Amino acid sequence: MGKDANSGNAGKKSKKNPVGKFFSGLGNDLKELGLTFTEGDWKTKVSYLIMGFGPLMRKQFVRGIAYLALEAVFIFYMASFGVHYLKDLGTLGTIARVLNDNGTYSYNDNSFLILLYSILTIIIICAFIFAWRMNIRENRNEEKLLAAGKALSSPKQDLYSLLDSHFDKTLLALPVLGIFLFTVLPIIFMICIAFTNYDQKHQPPTNLFSWVGLENFQNLFSFGAQGIGSTFFTVLSWTLIWAFFATFLTYFAGMGVAIMINKKGIKFKKLWRTILVMTIAVPQFVSLLYVYKMFANDGLINTYLMRWGWIESRIPFWSDPLLSKIVIIVVNLWIGIPYTMLITTGLLMNIPEDLYESARIDGASGFQMFRSITLPYMLFVTGPFLLTQFTGNLNNFNVIYLLTQGGPYSMELSNKAGYTDLLVTWLYKMTVNDTNYRMAAVLGIMIFAVTAVISLVVYGMLPSVKDEEGFQ
């Protein structure tokens, strides 16, 4: 017993956090580099400086030329472009334009390009270090093979391995490159923009922008004339409220519709499903614009209500902050119920009928069967779907922008924010309408933080994650 406990404690102690694992792996890697240089032959030692030298001396010409060409391209890039942009990264440029003798301007530094190409250069340097490390490791492996009396692989064998045993690397090479160029690079660039004063007053190449540290974050969380904290928390609170109601009202309403349609004794089940599905067939852009016109001051609803004498003045569906939010949530129900109905219909059919039969014998009511059988099963299976819907509604651009464009507006809200704006629609306005890229970048970071925190917390609470064997 004591031995098992001690071994368990030892196992717990041996576990390291991610940071510890990173530095431990880095230390082991540096140790291996030093050992390879110490024990390696002169060809390996020269390969530390001239990539591909070892393979060339061992008649691995294709591999050696590839490494040598890679190093040559890297040196050329750094000498021609990389160093030029990296040296200006600290200032993001000092001279925007110069007035020539003929009255024209010539542009020198461009903060946008300096920042973009500096980030790209840093990524290229990291990629080159990785390739250099591979070069050293292959030299080590080649030495071991020759010492063991084994022959080195031929170029034909290397090519065959890329199409066979290492085909996964060949297949993923282009997607990984695309991820770094079109995903990682823009994200890093956006994060860096959040620490600059890049806005409508600092538009390169005419005007340069520079680093401002945490000033933009202070403005976002500050209250008063200099900050937009009041507007930010107003928009954030509505974003969370909208995401909650848009997700769960749609979910339970769609489930209720599916239960009613699938109930025994209901006639024309296919007809009801077809009618609901038809709403999906209509493009959301068209349907939302039509709904917007219906609820306008001169729309069908106000017109007929006044014609019938039910109201004396037009209802401000889109100009009243509270009423516009309620209308948006209701309209979203009309859009989202068919999707939820389709998903839950198939799941309801998979619930064993024996469970319901046993519950009826025990005298359970319809509500009790729903609470104890249907709802737990549905939440267990559709938990990840609900999380996806919630995070999607946090960034639901279409519904908000096509119905209200974020309005109604008020002088109480700054930076052109409206009472129905979500964080993502507010970000869009800052970027496209106001060219306030610095605050838009800060807002983008906040959107990521809110979405990531909620997703991670909720994911750990899902029944399907906590108890994977629950309904098996």
pLDDT tens track for 76-116: 999 999 999 999 999 999 988 776 767 677 778 999 999 99
Would you state the pLDDT for residue 19? 65
Q: Above 50 in pLDDT, residue 1?
A: no
Give the CA radius of gyration of the chain: 31
pLDDT at 290 over 80: yes
- Environment class of 378 (CB within 10 Å of its CB; exposed 0-12, middle 13-18, buried 19+): buried
Mean pLDDT, the chain, as a whole number? 87
pLDDT higher than 70, residue 202: yes
Mean pLDDT over 217-223 rounds to 94
- Tell which residue, 389, 401, 249, has the closest CA to residue 330: 249
Is the model's pLDDT at 378 over the cut of 80?
Answer: yes
225: Cβ–Cβ under 8 A, 6 or more apart, which residues?
A: none
Q: How far apart are CA 197 and CA 211, in angstroms?
A: 7
Q: What is the pTM of this model?
A: 0.83
User: Is 9's pLDDT higher than 80?
Assistant: no
What is the predicted pLDDT for the residue at 14? Answer: 45
Q: How big, in percent rounded to 5, are the helix, strand and coil portions of the chain? A: 70, 0, 30
**Residue 401 has which token pair?**
């922008």
In the chain, ranges of CATH 1.10.3720.10 domains: 229-466
Q: How far apart are CA 103 and CA 90, in angstroms?
A: 31
- Homologous superfamily (CATH) of 229-466 is MetI-like (1.10.3720.10)
Region 356-369 average pLDDT: 88
